[in-house]
Structure 1
Amino acid sequence: MKLFVLSPDKVARLQTLVSIFAVITVLSGPSFAADSAKKESDAADTPTVTVTRDACNAVVAYQPDASVEYQPGVDVNGHAVTPAEGPGANAAQITLPDVIEFPVTVDFFEYAGISKPTGIGGEGNLGKITYKNGQVYFNDQPIGNAAQNADLIAACQATGYR
């Protein structure tokens, strides 16, 4: 009883396909096993972050105790003295605004070293610098170490380091 009759050309193709399938199966087995083992080890190897006092001291701004702040007219022992600013120095206090902003501009013609054409302004606005709450922002995005260390500062405060 004959079920199939294959030409030698088809037999060669079939052998090639079976060989390719066998190679792929053999090579992919370790990969699947490694992926499975990796997923299991990743769950067990969740990283632990340790917040040290030294790291906190480096990023968290020092907050002195209120008792050590300068008090005009009082010496270190709490006795009344003439203020360092002189008599009546408290009369003219300067009040700074809560937010200070200024634009960042550039004169493109001057920057490029090109003489400015008559009637055309070359000044362009690049953004704005803002200072508020002890932090500097460029276009409302915090810049500097405070922007990079926000998570570390929060972790330091959570552990009680100041």
Structure 2
Amino acid sequence: MLFLWSATAAATAQTVQISEQDCSDLARHVASADVNYQPGVDVDGNAVAPADLDGAGQIPAPDTITIPLTLDLASRLGIPAEGNADYLARPVIGDVVVTSDGRVTFNGMPLTSDAQHELAQKCQRIVRTR
């Protein structure tokens, strides 16, 4: 069992007990040093040509990823697709936003609490040191 101490501005300090498996499940995956990418070699250590193309631009990873959620009304209402190619009824229900620090919101509302996020971050640090 792992014991994590947590203190937030709105609450008194408390100790949370969590199993190692649950902590590992909460932590984002961090590759161990022996599986890190090594440029110019394959998995067996043989030399390979680089995948970079001359002049190809780098696309930076976004800080947030937005996923629009829609509902296929035609299917829900039993409207057949044949003969209705122009009928597109997919209203946007909302947006799920995932940030680079692992927070997830739906239409601006957190899907996890700050306490859950803090616990996941602490588990990630613990898993990294093992």
TM bucket by the smaller chain?
Answer: 0.3 to 0.5
Structure in which a larger fraction of residues adopt strand:
2
Calculate the TM-score normalised by the size of structure 2: 0.48
Larger Rg: 1
Calculate the TM-score normalised by the size of structure 1: 0.41
Structure in which a larger fraction of residues adopt helix:
1
The structure whose RCO (Cα within 8 Å, separation 6+) is larger is: 2
